[in-house]
Amino acid sequence: MAVVAGLIGLAASLGGLEIRLMPRHFTAAEQQKIISWEIGKRWRTWPAGEIFPASIAYQLPAASLASDTGLTLTARRVGIAAEAPCGAVTDSVAAQVLARGGCAAVLRATYADAAGAFVTTVGVAVLPSARAAAAANTTLSGSGSLRPGIRATAFPGTLTAWFADPSRQISLTISVGPYLVMYTAGYTDGRPLAAADGTQYAQTELLTSAQGIAGYIAGKIGAPPPPAACPGAPGC
């Protein structure tokens, strides 16, 4: 009986060892937690130049060019601002919404379009979860293209020097993962909203360039990482 009991114990031990040595498979819930953690840490771990690349390609639609094909243009980064408190670089309404959502910080950069006619400031607000970011986006959404959001960020000595809050032509937001990507755009000559060029082409080009820049940044910082894989080793 002692021998039989010993054999049973040995078999159980070998079975447990086999399970520990087999590759571990994450559950769907574990995968989602890992993905959320990977995306949520990017604002701290990625270099500023990776979040805000030096150049971004955007597409002018064929309809605005009275053509059968669109036109690919490239916006260039003018400058990256220092990390800022959420309430210091946003409109008062947006600041209140972000504060209620638990915003930790805002990262900012400003870009100029291919022709140097338009300037776009993009702000990435860091919230504690995707749900909080989505809720903030919903609260700030509404009719019109000039909504509470990021304030204009200019860099002296560059073609963005005249870009200020009164010259903002559009102000919109995108929710992606735990980030609320806010963007605002205007003319490099600093003309106020009331004096903006009313031509459809100019407005389309301004909006298209701003959306292309902000959309690229949002898509990159919020992109799902590769599926998590656990190597088959004890304690994985």
From residue 104, how far is each of 29, 50, 84, 101, 180 by CA, in Å? 25, 20, 9, 9, 11
- Residue 179's pLDDT is 97
**Averaged pLDDT, 220-231:** 78
- Averaged pLDDT, 197-202: 65
DSSP letter for each residue of 61-120: -GGGGTSSS-EEEEEEEEEEPPPB-TTTSB-HHHHHHHHHHT--EEEEEEEE-TTSSEEE
Is residue 173 pLDDT above 80, yes or no? yes
Longest dimension (CA), the chain: 97
State the pLDDT at residue 204. 84
Q: Whole-number mean pLDDT of the chain?
A: 84
CA–CA dist 90, 106 (Å, integer): 9
Q: Structure tokens of 171?
A: 């102000």
Q: How confident is the model at residue 234 (pLDDT cuts 50, 70, 90)?
A: very low
Residue that wins the pLDDT comparison between 194 and 178: 178
Question: How distant is the alpha carbon of residue 206 from its chain centre?
Answer: 20
3-class DSSP state of 56? strand
Rg value, the chain, Cα = 24
Using CB atoms within 10 A of its CB, is residue 198 exposed (0-12), middle (13-18) or buried (19+)? exposed
Residue 83: Cβ-neighbour burial (10 angstroms; 0-12, 13-18, 19+): middle
pTM (2 d.p.): 0.81
The pLDDT tens digits of the residues spanning 93-150 come to 999 999 999 999 999 999 999 999 999 999 999 999 999 999 999 999 987 788 999 9
Task: Say if residues 117 and 187 touch (Cβ distance below 8 Å).
Answer: yes
pLDDT for residue 97: 97
| Sequence-ordered alpha helix ranges (H) in the chain | 2-21, 28-40, 42-45, 48-51, 92-101, 130-140, 200-221
Q: How much is the pLDDT for 52?
A: 98
Confidence at residue 235, expressed as pLDDT on a 0 to 100 scale: 46
Find the mean pLDDT for residues 78-98. 97
- List strands edge to edge, sheet with 105-112: 55-60, 71-80, 105-112, 118-126, 179-187, 168-176
Q: For the beta carbon of residue 180, count every other beta carbon within 10 angstroms.
A: 32
Q: What is the pLDDT of residue 132?
A: 97
The alpha carbon of 7 is separated from its chain's Cα centroid by a whole number of angstroms, namely 59
- Domains identified in the chain and CATH numbers: 51-221 (3.40.1000)
pLDDT digits (tens, 9 = 90+) for 8-38: 454 555 455 444 545 556 566 656 666 677 8
What pLDDT, on the 0 to 100 scale, is given for residue 77? 98
